[in-house]
Structure 1
Amino acid sequence: YFLGSCSPPAPGEAVMLNCSSPTTPALLEALAPVFKLSSIRPVSNISTPTRVKVEFIMFGILGVDEKSQLLTTFIWQSLVWNNEFVSWDPEQCGARRITIPRKYVWVPDIVINEFMEKNNAPPVPYVYLYSDGKVEDDEPVKVVSSCRLDIYMFPFDTQNCTFSFNSYKLLGEIFESAWEDDYRFNVSKKVMTTMGEWRLIGLSVKKFEFAISEADSYQELRFYVTVQRSPTMYVVNLLLPSCFLITVDLFSFLLPPQSVDRSLFKMTLILGYTMFLLIMNDLLPVTGNTIPLMNVFLSMCLVLMVGSLLETIVITNLLCGLAHQSPVPWILRVIILQFLGPLMLLPPKPKKKEDTVIENPATRGTICDSLSIDADRVMKTNKERF
């Protein structure tokens, strides 16, 4: 097929451009009639679907919003399709590829279903047009996409998000994936510049087709993005200090209650741990659909500290309060120690050893005699009392 540089092509007709000279101005002059067809899908037969190759490289993971369930990434999106209205001889026109403004060619309406905000990346106003009619549209895209985040295992969580590419106007088999999953993932890992606390661990693609009617079908290309949180900061700043404080609280039971105010020590621990949680509150995720195990762990640590304080209060009351109470009845002591004790596998109470007194004859008639008389008097009084 041949097209003169003066006559515009008809829709549905395959075109071979004729350049007057192997220069860029001559090629642009030959392309001028084709530019007028930018609003028409570039196919020779209107029933032929335009196949679009969709690919992207992930340059950075900018952040994850657990409360709003949003994943923010920066990708380089590539769309490739064929324009059947254009072809030329590279030797005759002097170029195999030319850069032209986007408004001069037909561009498919490929969108990401999970888009939640407008693309704020700098626009690229040009596309590549090749001698065989291939059109390549590359542009950066800041993707703020919806993603169902599961933070139950925070900070050891892994999130799976989906980028669904589709077209609102194009039907039939239109989507293709140009790269293998491993190649796409490896390239993204090499060029990724911003990850923060997240790292990319998986990037795959799968094509879906949905029947609209007997004649038409709807296609969707889904890219599955798997990211994993780096837990080091949370382990160092939250888990380890909490474990250390709980350990100190447990070992505080070794302090002698007679000489140390154990309850004051535990109240100081609780106050310090409460201030620690208030300071580190910004590190905890805002609760979304589920409550993270980390929040449950920190709450349980606080509950254990409060329970330990209550136990100390009870022990102190038992130690200090029994001194002002009447002695245990003799029959109750016998029942508990002699009968119930062996049933509970308690060891028997050891017998007291009687003290042996050796009298020194040289001390007779001295203060030792008076002490002995006083001791006999005390023993006699005790016998009369019982």
Structure 2
Amino acid sequence: MSVVLLLNQSWYNKELAWDEEDFPFTTMIIPWGSVWTPTLTVEEAYEVTWSNESPDVILHKDGKVELQLTLRIDSNCNFDLIHYPIDSSDCTLSFFSLASKESELEFKVSVKNKILNVKREYLITGVNIRSPKNMEQPYFVVKITIQNTGVRIILSLIVPSTALIVSDLCGFLIPLKERLSYMVTLLLAYLVFYSSLVGSLPGSSSCSPLLSYYYTCLLMLLFFRTIQTIVVAKLVSDNFNLWQNCGFRGENATITTRLPKDQSCHPEDSDGSDTNEGSSHLKPASAALDKLFFFIYLGLVVTFHVLFLAVWALWQCKSEKPPGGDHLDGIQW
């Protein structure tokens, strides 16, 4: 996470105070290396960029010292991504003064200005600051609460997946001879979509997004649907007369396991005279089987989405604390 902060620091040093009668001015601007300034270390940061390497220090006649620092902090933040893309996370920045002890330095902190947003898809919903006591080194902690609006993900991922489910269910309205090519095209298109999806979903968190499991299950459902289409299409094929050659004859036909010497269960050994008759009896059975598969698949889709919504509402996953974050325990926000 990248954060730009403006730190306004002030403290009193009586040794730097002066009498206005002796020095006829109320303020003085000097380089910051000329007086003592607190040395701050951000524990969660892996890179800190200063906008001004040599900021000026303002001295007042009563001994008040003011120092303004503008810096960009690139820090580690373990996001709570279990409910991505409508996730909410708390990121902390801990400012330590390692060169001082608590008896020598005490922070009195407050937040005066709050930035309302960082990017279009994220909003800052809260900024809190605390300075815990009774610690070996003085420090203060800034907690930033960010909320993902999810607009980009909803438009680019949720809407296409909903269209995929509707298109898949509407495939049962297509004749079987044309449905197989439709399902194969749909499966290949989803594989391309899924490969790009894996790279777009965030994964650097101790709580992986439930959305990644959702799209994986959709892939399995679509694969099952394609296999079902292949099976039913094979049963209604005009060249599939194996049952007829094995004893399927007419409405009162039975399948026997004993055949005459001049017949076999291979399609190439039949004379084809009863092909149309066998197909006419297979098509109603295949239509019933296709209808059965439709209700089974519809039940699987509905059950999966009900279970997914239940897991979404009930499952909780708290991200791990950043390394060295034990000092955050016990802070009352």
Equivalent runs, 1:297-316 vs 2, <5 Å: 297-316=214-233
Secondary structure in 1 matching 2:214: helix
Identity %: 24
Number of aligned residue pairs: give it.
249
Equivalent runs, 1:84-103 vs 2, <5 Å: 84-90=14-20, 93-103=23-33
Contact persistence 2:109–2:140 (CA under 8 A):
no
Would the alpha carbon gap of residues 301 and 90 (structure 1) be closer, same or farther in structure 2, given more than 3 Å must change?
A: farther
Would the alpha carbon gap of residues 210 and 148 (structure 1) be closer, same or farther in structure 2, given more than 3 Å must change?
A: farther
Would the alpha carbon gap of residues 142 and 101 (structure 1) be closer, same or farther in structure 2, given more than 3 Å must change?
A: same
Contact persistence 1:175–1:221 (CA under 8 A):
no
CA distance in 2, matches of 1:219, 1:287: 31
Given the alignment of the two structures, is residue 270 of structure 1 paired with residue 187 of structure 2, yes or no? yes
Among 13, 37, 43, the alignment partner of 1:107 is 37
Q: What is aligned with 1:152?
A: 82
Q: What is aligned with 2:126?
A: 202
Q: What is aligned with 1:244?
A: 163
CA distance in 2, matches of 1:91, 1:280: 72
Equivalent runs, 1:1-150 vs 2, <5 Å: 71-90=1-20, 93-150=23-80
CA distance in 2, matches of 1:168, 1:269: 60
CA distance in 2, matches of 1:285, 1:108: 38
Would the alpha carbon gap of residues 322 and 91 (structure 1) be closer, same or farther in structure 2, given more than 3 Å must change?
A: farther
Among 104, 108, 118, the alignment partner of 1:177 is 108
Q: Deviations over 1:116-157 (max 9, x none)?
A: 124253324211111111111111111111222222222111
CA distance in 2, matches of 1:96, 1:195: 42
Contact persistence 1:115–1:145 (CA under 8 A):
yes
Q: Deviations over 1:231-269 (max 9, x none)?
A: 100110111011101210111012232xx4211100001
Contact persistence 2:9–2:68 (CA under 8 A):
yes
CA distance in 2, matches of 1:306, 1:262: 14
Among 198, 213, 218, the alignment partner of 2:137 is 218
Q: What is aligned with 1:291?
A: 208
Greater C-alpha Rg: 1
Given the alignment of the two structures, is residue 227 of structure 1 paired with residue 146 of structure 2, yes or no? yes
CA distance in 2, matches of 1:228, 1:122: 31
Q: What is aligned with 1:164?
A: 94
Secondary structure in 1 matching 2:114: helix
Q: Shift in Å at residue 279 of structure 1?
A: 4.3
CA distance in 2, matches of 1:331, 1:319: 18
Given the alignment of the two structures, is residue 254 of structure 1 paired with residue 184 of structure 2, yes or no? no
Q: Deviations over 1:345-385 (max 9, x none)?
A: xxxxxxxxxxxxxxxxxxxxxxxxxxxxxxxxxxxxxxxxx
CA distance in 2, matches of 1:157, 1:232: 12
CA distance in 2, matches of 1:322, 1:142: 75
**Residue identity matched to 2:141:** R
Secondary structure in 2 matching 1:116: strand
Secondary structure in 2 matching 1:222: strand
Contact persistence 2:109–2:131 (CA under 8 A):
no
CA distance in 1, matches of 2:21, 2:171: 88
Structure 1: give runs of 5+ residues left out of the alignment. Answer: 1-70, 212-216, 334-386
Q: Shift in Å at residue 207 of structure 1?
A: 2.3
| TM-score, normalization by structure 2 | 0.67
Contact persistence 1:209–1:218 (CA under 8 A):
no
| TM-score, normalization by structure 1 | 0.58
Q: Shift in Å at residue 205 of structure 1?
A: 1.7
Q: Deviations over 1:42-72 (max 9, x none)?
A: xxxxxxxxxxxxxxxxxxxxxxxxxxxxx11
Structure 2: give runs of 5+ residues left out of the alignment. Answer: 256-333
Q: Deviations over 1:50-102 (max 9, x none)?
A: xxxxxxxxxxxxxxxxxxxxx11111112211112021244653332221111
Secondary structure in 2 matching 1:188: coil
**Residue identity matched to 1:300:** C
